[in-house]
Amino acid sequence: MSDTHGKFIWYELMTPDTEAAARFYGFVVGWTAAPFENAAMPYTIFETNGRGVGGMMELTDEFAKSGIPPNWTGYVAVDNVDETVRKIDAEGGSIMRPAEDIPEVGRFAVVKDPDGAVLCIMTPLPMDNQPPEAAPDAPGHVGWSELFTDDVERASAFYHSVFGWTKDHDLDMGEMGPYRIFAYKDKAIGGMMKRLPQVPVCHWGYYFNVDAIDEAITRVSTGGGQVINDPMEVPGGSWIVNCLDPHGAYFSLVAPRK
């Protein structure tokens, strides 16, 4: 495996109103939005400090009729998309969209893990003149990735086989079971937990870094979003909150202070 196989590299929002979403996330997270000029269909890039951190595309009626809700999806880099698709299938996952090329971007596929959580995988083409990567906790970047799954041990084994992720440690959540912290290249990047009864499907969620939780909560509400779980302090002293944007896409925020 290369040094990038198994690394989260991109996050993508599908929403029925891209202009409204650009305003909302610009207000809440501080992103600027700019069109990707070479895209085959309208596509927006979210940037912070001149670096792209994610993208946005329209959730068309065709997508919505197929059962896709407004959502955020993460992209994980792999050395070879086609080989990884075969690996995912062999390990009990499934393929939602077969591997295909995006001109000037890379080759990608949309996949599900054994419990139905959706991810995209991509072998990106080399990009010139990219700004240096920011610190993982820099405002405007994605600071944590979290999986709600029906079986933490099965999910952990699947992602270890496919991406090489390793168990960092578990946090005891009592009757809810362990919160499994997983690592990429020996650095903790996310967690896995048993899906709660009120969560309808297994899915991934992403935490966007902000300066302070209380002010960000005010921006979410003022911007038309909804806070669905009260702010919580987590190990290490950071604060988190789970939210829905104005069109119902799930996202979370994390900050070093309340």
- Name the CA dihedral angle for 166, 170, 173, 179, rounded to a multiple of 10 degrees: -20
Among 74, 94, 124, which residue terminates a domain? 124
Render 164-229 in DSSP notation, one character per residue. --EEEEEEE-GGG-EEEEEEETTEEEEEEEEPPTT--S-EEEEEEE-S-HHHHHHHHHHTT-EEEE
Output the pLDDT for position 8: 97
pLDDT tens digits for range 20-55: 999 999 999 999 999 988 777 889 999 998 889 999
Domain that holds residue 14: 8-124
Hunting for tokens 């966007």 — which residue is that?
208
169 and 208 within one domain: yes
Say what the pTM is: 0.95
Q: How many domains does the chain have?
A: 2
CATH of the domain at 179: 3.10.180.10
Output the pLDDT for position 236: 86
Mean pLDDT value of segment 97-110: 94
pLDDT tens digits for range 114-166: 999 999 999 999 876 666 777 778 899 999 999 999 999 999 999 999 999 99
Output the pLDDT for position 37: 82
Q: Note whether residue 228 is domain-resident.
A: yes
Helix (H) / strand (E) containing 82 = helix 81-90
